[in-house]
Amino acid sequence: MRGTPPPSRIGWSLMARITLKLTRPVDPAALPKAPSSRARRALGGRKATRAPPPEAAATPSPRHPNPDDPRLSKRMSELGLCSRREADAWIENGWVKVDGKVVTTLGTRVSPDAHIDVEPAATRHQSEQVTILLNKPVGYVSGQPEDGHQPAMVLITPESRWSGDPSPTRFTPGHLRGLAPAGRLDIDSTGLLVFTQDGRVAKRLIGHDSDVEKEYLVRVEGPLSDEGLRLLQHGLALDGVQLKPARVSWQNEHQLRFVLREGRKRQIRRMCEQVGLTVTGLKRVRSGGVALGALPVGRWRYLRHDERF
Protein backbone atom coordinates (compact mmCIF):
# COMPACT_ATOMS: atom_id res chain seq x y z
CA MET A 1 0.00 0.00 0.00
CA ARG A 2 1.02 3.62 -0.61
CA GLY A 3 2.46 5.33 2.45
CA THR A 4 3.67 2.11 4.13
CA PRO A 5 7.41 2.37 4.90
CA PRO A 6 9.63 -0.42 3.70
CA PRO A 7 10.58 -3.13 6.21
CA SER A 8 13.99 -1.67 6.77
CA ARG A 9 12.50 1.65 7.91
CA ILE A 10 10.14 -0.18 10.35
CA GLY A 11 13.13 -1.96 11.96
CA TRP A 12 15.05 1.29 12.36
CA SER A 13 11.99 2.97 13.91
CA LEU A 14 11.60 0.21 16.58
CA MET A 15 15.27 0.34 17.48
CA ALA A 16 15.07 4.08 17.90
CA ARG A 17 12.17 3.83 20.35
CA ILE A 18 13.94 1.07 22.38
CA THR A 19 17.11 3.14 22.52
CA LEU A 20 15.11 6.14 23.69
CA LYS A 21 13.65 4.17 26.62
CA LEU A 22 17.01 2.79 27.67
CA THR A 23 18.71 6.17 27.65
CA ARG A 24 15.89 8.18 29.26
CA PRO A 25 17.05 9.58 32.65
CA VAL A 26 15.59 7.88 35.77
CA ASP A 27 13.83 9.97 38.44
CA PRO A 28 15.67 9.23 41.78
CA ALA A 29 12.42 9.86 43.68
CA ALA A 30 10.92 6.84 41.98
CA LEU A 31 13.61 4.48 43.30
CA PRO A 32 12.91 2.51 46.53
CA LYS A 33 14.59 4.05 49.56
CA ALA A 34 16.83 2.14 52.00
CA PRO A 35 15.29 1.78 55.47
CA SER A 36 16.17 4.53 57.92
CA SER A 37 18.28 3.91 61.02
CA ARG A 38 15.08 4.11 63.12
CA ALA A 39 13.47 1.45 60.95
CA ARG A 40 16.57 -0.73 61.27
CA ARG A 41 16.42 -0.38 65.06
CA ALA A 42 12.75 -1.35 65.00
CA LEU A 43 13.77 -4.50 63.15
CA GLY A 44 16.24 -5.35 65.89
CA GLY A 45 19.26 -3.82 64.24
CA ARG A 46 19.66 -6.91 62.05
CA LYS A 47 20.89 -6.61 58.53
CA ALA A 48 19.07 -8.43 55.83
CA THR A 49 20.75 -11.68 54.87
CA ARG A 50 20.53 -13.41 51.56
CA ALA A 51 19.05 -16.90 51.67
CA PRO A 52 21.44 -19.62 50.55
CA PRO A 53 20.76 -21.16 47.18
CA PRO A 54 18.50 -24.23 47.38
CA GLU A 55 21.24 -26.61 46.39
CA ALA A 56 23.50 -25.41 49.27
CA ALA A 57 20.80 -25.39 51.97
CA ALA A 58 20.67 -29.15 52.50
CA THR A 59 24.03 -30.61 51.65
CA PRO A 60 24.08 -34.22 52.88
CA SER A 61 26.93 -35.28 55.12
CA PRO A 62 29.46 -37.57 53.44
CA ARG A 63 28.77 -41.26 53.90
CA HIS A 64 30.77 -44.38 53.36
CA PRO A 65 30.12 -45.64 49.83
CA ASN A 66 28.83 -48.98 51.13
CA PRO A 67 26.41 -48.63 54.08
CA ASP A 68 26.46 -52.41 54.57
CA ASP A 69 30.12 -52.39 55.60
CA PRO A 70 30.75 -52.83 59.36
CA ARG A 71 31.57 -49.96 61.66
CA LEU A 72 35.23 -49.71 62.59
CA SER A 73 34.65 -50.53 66.27
CA LYS A 74 32.68 -53.66 65.38
CA ARG A 75 35.33 -54.79 62.90
CA MET A 76 38.06 -54.33 65.53
CA SER A 77 36.03 -56.45 67.96
CA GLU A 78 35.52 -59.14 65.30
CA LEU A 79 39.28 -59.25 64.75
CA GLY A 80 39.82 -59.76 68.48
CA LEU A 81 41.78 -56.53 68.90
CA CYS A 82 39.59 -55.23 71.72
CA SER A 83 35.99 -54.76 72.78
CA ARG A 84 33.74 -52.31 70.94
CA ARG A 85 33.81 -49.96 73.94
CA GLU A 86 37.61 -50.02 73.96
CA ALA A 87 37.65 -49.49 70.20
CA ASP A 88 35.60 -46.32 70.56
CA ALA A 89 38.06 -44.97 73.14
CA TRP A 90 41.04 -45.84 70.96
CA ILE A 91 39.47 -44.20 67.92
CA GLU A 92 38.78 -40.99 69.85
CA ASN A 93 42.39 -40.99 71.10
CA GLY A 94 43.70 -41.23 67.53
CA TRP A 95 45.29 -44.63 68.09
CA VAL A 96 43.68 -46.38 65.10
CA LYS A 97 44.71 -46.28 61.44
CA VAL A 98 42.71 -47.69 58.54
CA ASP A 99 44.73 -48.31 55.39
CA GLY A 100 47.42 -46.00 56.74
CA LYS A 101 45.12 -43.09 57.69
CA VAL A 102 44.20 -42.10 61.26
CA VAL A 103 40.47 -42.37 61.93
CA THR A 104 38.99 -40.36 64.82
CA THR A 105 35.31 -40.31 63.85
CA LEU A 106 33.11 -42.74 65.76
CA GLY A 107 30.76 -44.78 63.59
CA THR A 108 33.08 -44.80 60.57
CA ARG A 109 32.38 -47.75 58.31
CA VAL A 110 35.23 -49.74 56.81
CA SER A 111 35.59 -52.41 54.20
CA PRO A 112 35.91 -55.94 55.66
CA ASP A 113 39.30 -56.27 53.97
CA ALA A 114 40.61 -52.90 55.21
CA HIS A 115 43.99 -52.98 56.94
CA ILE A 116 43.66 -51.81 60.57
CA ASP A 117 46.68 -50.74 62.62
CA VAL A 118 46.68 -49.89 66.33
CA GLU A 119 49.24 -47.57 67.89
CA PRO A 120 51.53 -48.96 70.65
CA ALA A 121 49.85 -46.59 73.13
CA ALA A 122 46.67 -48.67 72.85
CA THR A 123 48.59 -51.88 73.50
CA ARG A 124 50.22 -50.35 76.57
CA HIS A 125 46.81 -49.24 77.80
CA GLN A 126 45.50 -52.76 77.32
CA SER A 127 48.42 -54.36 79.15
CA GLU A 128 47.71 -52.16 82.18
CA GLN A 129 44.14 -53.47 82.47
CA VAL A 130 43.44 -56.03 85.17
CA THR A 131 41.22 -59.08 85.55
CA ILE A 132 40.08 -60.10 89.01
CA LEU A 133 38.76 -63.48 90.20
CA LEU A 134 36.29 -63.46 93.09
CA ASN A 135 34.80 -66.37 95.01
CA LYS A 136 31.29 -64.93 95.27
CA PRO A 137 29.32 -65.73 98.42
CA VAL A 138 25.60 -66.44 98.47
CA GLY A 139 23.49 -63.28 98.89
CA TYR A 140 25.35 -61.01 96.45
CA VAL A 141 24.24 -60.19 92.90
CA SER A 142 26.66 -60.21 90.00
CA GLY A 143 25.86 -56.83 88.50
CA GLN A 144 23.86 -53.81 89.60
CA PRO A 145 22.19 -53.72 93.03
CA GLU A 146 18.69 -55.20 92.99
CA ASP A 147 16.00 -55.85 95.57
CA GLY A 148 18.20 -54.48 98.33
CA HIS A 149 21.07 -56.88 97.60
CA GLN A 150 24.60 -55.57 97.15
CA PRO A 151 26.68 -56.21 94.04
CA ALA A 152 29.58 -58.61 94.48
CA MET A 153 31.98 -55.89 93.38
CA VAL A 154 31.77 -54.27 96.84
CA LEU A 155 33.88 -57.20 98.05
CA ILE A 156 36.84 -56.11 95.92
CA THR A 157 38.78 -54.10 98.47
CA PRO A 158 42.43 -54.17 99.58
CA GLU A 159 41.34 -55.84 102.83
CA SER A 160 39.52 -58.73 101.12
CA ARG A 161 42.34 -59.62 98.75
CA TRP A 162 43.42 -63.24 99.27
CA SER A 163 46.64 -63.43 101.24
CA GLY A 164 47.71 -66.34 99.01
CA ASP A 165 47.47 -64.31 95.78
CA PRO A 166 50.71 -65.02 93.89
CA SER A 167 50.39 -61.94 91.65
CA PRO A 168 52.90 -59.13 92.32
CA THR A 169 50.35 -56.53 91.12
CA ARG A 170 49.80 -53.80 93.68
CA PHE A 171 46.18 -52.81 94.16
CA THR A 172 45.24 -49.23 93.19
CA PRO A 173 41.82 -47.54 93.06
CA GLY A 174 42.28 -47.28 89.29
CA HIS A 175 41.79 -51.05 89.05
CA LEU A 176 38.14 -50.54 89.95
CA ARG A 177 37.58 -48.03 87.15
CA GLY A 178 35.73 -49.69 84.30
CA LEU A 179 35.81 -53.07 86.06
CA ALA A 180 32.75 -55.12 85.11
CA PRO A 181 31.57 -58.71 85.57
CA ALA A 182 32.23 -61.00 82.61
CA GLY A 183 29.33 -63.32 83.24
CA ARG A 184 26.97 -63.78 86.15
CA LEU A 185 26.10 -66.02 89.05
CA ASP A 186 22.65 -66.13 90.64
CA ILE A 187 22.22 -64.61 94.08
CA ASP A 188 21.82 -68.13 95.50
CA SER A 189 24.98 -69.40 93.79
CA THR A 190 28.61 -69.18 94.78
CA GLY A 191 32.00 -69.67 93.19
CA LEU A 192 34.17 -68.16 90.47
CA LEU A 193 33.04 -64.75 89.23
CA VAL A 194 35.30 -62.86 86.82
CA PHE A 195 35.64 -59.08 86.75
CA THR A 196 37.71 -57.43 84.06
CA GLN A 197 38.75 -54.13 82.49
CA ASP A 198 39.92 -55.98 79.38
CA GLY A 199 37.39 -56.17 76.57
CA ARG A 200 39.17 -59.18 75.05
CA VAL A 201 38.53 -61.18 78.23
CA ALA A 202 34.88 -60.12 78.32
CA LYS A 203 34.41 -61.09 74.67
CA ARG A 204 36.07 -64.45 75.27
CA LEU A 205 33.78 -65.26 78.20
CA ILE A 206 30.45 -63.69 77.27
CA GLY A 207 30.62 -62.85 73.57
CA HIS A 208 27.74 -64.14 71.46
CA ASP A 209 30.04 -66.75 69.90
CA SER A 210 31.78 -67.73 73.17
CA ASP A 211 32.31 -71.47 73.64
CA VAL A 212 34.38 -71.34 76.84
CA GLU A 213 33.58 -74.22 79.18
CA LYS A 214 32.16 -73.40 82.60
CA GLU A 215 32.21 -76.13 85.25
CA TYR A 216 29.78 -76.33 88.17
CA LEU A 217 29.24 -78.56 91.19
CA VAL A 218 25.51 -78.81 91.85
CA ARG A 219 23.94 -80.26 94.99
CA VAL A 220 20.49 -81.69 94.21
CA GLU A 221 17.56 -83.43 95.87
CA GLY A 222 15.25 -85.94 94.23
CA PRO A 223 15.56 -89.10 92.13
CA LEU A 224 17.25 -88.98 88.73
CA SER A 225 16.67 -91.76 86.22
CA ASP A 226 19.07 -92.75 83.46
CA GLU A 227 16.69 -91.09 81.00
CA GLY A 228 16.72 -87.91 83.09
CA LEU A 229 20.52 -87.87 83.08
CA ARG A 230 20.51 -88.36 79.32
CA LEU A 231 18.14 -85.39 78.91
CA LEU A 232 20.41 -83.20 81.04
CA GLN A 233 23.29 -84.09 78.76
CA HIS A 234 21.33 -83.26 75.60
CA GLY A 235 17.68 -82.95 74.73
CA LEU A 236 16.30 -80.10 76.86
CA ALA A 237 15.15 -76.68 75.69
CA LEU A 238 14.64 -73.37 77.49
CA ASP A 239 12.29 -70.66 76.24
CA GLY A 240 11.77 -72.63 73.05
CA VAL A 241 15.51 -72.81 72.24
CA GLN A 242 17.35 -76.11 72.14
CA LEU A 243 20.27 -76.23 74.58
CA LYS A 244 23.77 -77.15 73.50
CA PRO A 245 25.11 -80.55 74.55
CA ALA A 246 26.45 -80.59 78.13
CA ARG A 247 28.62 -82.94 80.11
CA VAL A 248 26.69 -84.02 83.20
CA SER A 249 27.78 -86.77 85.60
CA TRP A 250 27.48 -87.74 89.25
CA GLN A 251 30.20 -86.28 91.46
CA ASN A 252 28.86 -88.13 94.50
CA GLU A 253 25.44 -89.40 95.58
CA HIS A 254 24.12 -85.86 96.26
CA GLN A 255 26.09 -83.77 93.78
CA LEU A 256 26.19 -83.48 89.99
CA ARG A 257 29.01 -82.07 87.89
CA PHE A 258 27.92 -79.86 84.95
CA VAL A 259 30.19 -78.63 82.17
CA LEU A 260 28.42 -76.12 79.89
CA ARG A 261 29.41 -74.06 76.88
CA GLU A 262 26.59 -71.54 77.27
CA GLY A 263 25.09 -69.48 80.06
CA ARG A 264 21.33 -69.00 79.89
CA LYS A 265 19.63 -67.31 82.83
CA ARG A 266 19.33 -69.77 85.76
CA GLN A 267 20.08 -72.50 83.22
CA ILE A 268 21.19 -75.32 85.52
CA ARG A 269 18.35 -74.78 87.99
CA ARG A 270 15.78 -74.79 85.21
CA MET A 271 17.33 -77.85 83.57
CA CYS A 272 17.15 -79.74 86.85
CA GLU A 273 13.50 -78.74 87.37
CA GLN A 274 12.62 -80.31 84.02
CA VAL A 275 13.86 -83.73 85.18
CA GLY A 276 12.36 -83.53 88.67
CA LEU A 277 15.40 -82.35 90.65
CA THR A 278 15.65 -79.50 93.14
CA VAL A 279 18.93 -77.59 93.32
CA THR A 280 20.01 -76.87 96.89
CA GLY A 281 23.50 -75.58 96.14
CA LEU A 282 25.44 -74.42 93.07
CA LYS A 283 29.12 -73.53 92.81
CA ARG A 284 31.13 -72.55 89.73
CA VAL A 285 34.62 -74.04 89.99
CA ARG A 286 36.14 -73.28 86.57
CA SER A 287 35.90 -70.96 83.56
CA GLY A 288 37.94 -72.20 80.62
CA GLY A 289 41.48 -72.87 81.81
CA VAL A 290 41.09 -70.87 85.04
CA ALA A 291 40.03 -72.77 88.17
CA LEU A 292 38.66 -71.44 91.44
CA GLY A 293 41.20 -73.53 93.30
CA ALA A 294 41.87 -72.66 96.93
CA LEU A 295 40.46 -69.13 96.72
CA PRO A 296 38.32 -68.71 99.87
CA VAL A 297 34.70 -67.52 99.78
CA GLY A 298 34.49 -63.72 99.78
CA ARG A 299 38.15 -63.30 98.73
CA TRP A 300 39.65 -62.23 95.39
CA ARG A 301 42.90 -62.40 93.48
CA TYR A 302 44.38 -61.11 90.21
CA LEU A 303 44.44 -63.25 87.08
CA ARG A 304 48.03 -64.38 86.53
CA HIS A 305 49.84 -63.64 83.28
CA ASP A 306 50.20 -67.35 82.55
CA GLU A 307 46.45 -68.06 82.96
CA ARG A 308 44.13 -68.19 79.97
CA PHE A 309 40.40 -68.63 79.77
Q: How many CB atoms lie within 10 A of CB 161?
A: 18
Amino acid at 44: G
* 181-200 pLDDT, tens digit each: 999 999 999 999 999 999 88
Higher per-residue confidence, 50 vs 271: 271
pLDDT of residue 144: 83
Supply the residues annotated as catalytic: 186
pLDDT of residue 143: 87
Percentage of the chain modeled with pLDDT above 90: 60
* 263-285 pLDDT, tens digit each: 899 999 999 999 999 999 999 99
Cβ(180)–Cβ(196) below 8 Å = yes
Q: State mean pLDDT over 80-101.
A: 87
pLDDT of residue 137: 97
CA distances from 257 to 193, 228, 246, 300 (A): 18, 14, 10, 24
For residue 62, name the pLDDT band (cuts at 50, 70, 90).
very low
* 128-168 pLDDT, tens digit each: 889 999 999 999 999 888 778 999 999 999 999 999 999 99
Cβ(210)–Cβ(288) below 8 Å = no
For the chain, the distance separating the N- and C-terminal CA atoms, rounded to the nearest angstrom, is: 113
Q: State mean pLDDT over 281-304.
A: 97
Q: How many CA atoms lie within 13 A of 73 on its CB side?
A: 16
Q: How many CA atoms lie within 13 A of 263 on its CB side?
A: 20
Q: CA nearest 138: which of 206, 187, 73, 204?
A: 187
Percentage of the chain modeled with pLDDT above 70: 78
pLDDT of residue 60: 36
* 205-216 pLDDT, tens digit each: 998 888 999 999
pLDDT of residue 10: 46
Residue 20 in this model has a pLDDT that exceeds 80: no
For residue 80, name the pLDDT band (cuts at 50, 70, 90).
confident
Cβ(87)–Cβ(49) below 8 Å = no
* 203-260 pLDDT, tens digit each: 899 988 889 999 999 999 999 999 999 999 999 999 999 999 999 999 999 999 999 9
For residue 12, name the pLDDT band (cuts at 50, 70, 90).
very low
Average pLDDT over the chain reads: 83
Residue 3 in this model has a pLDDT that exceeds 90: no
Residue 25 in this model has a pLDDT that exceeds 70: no
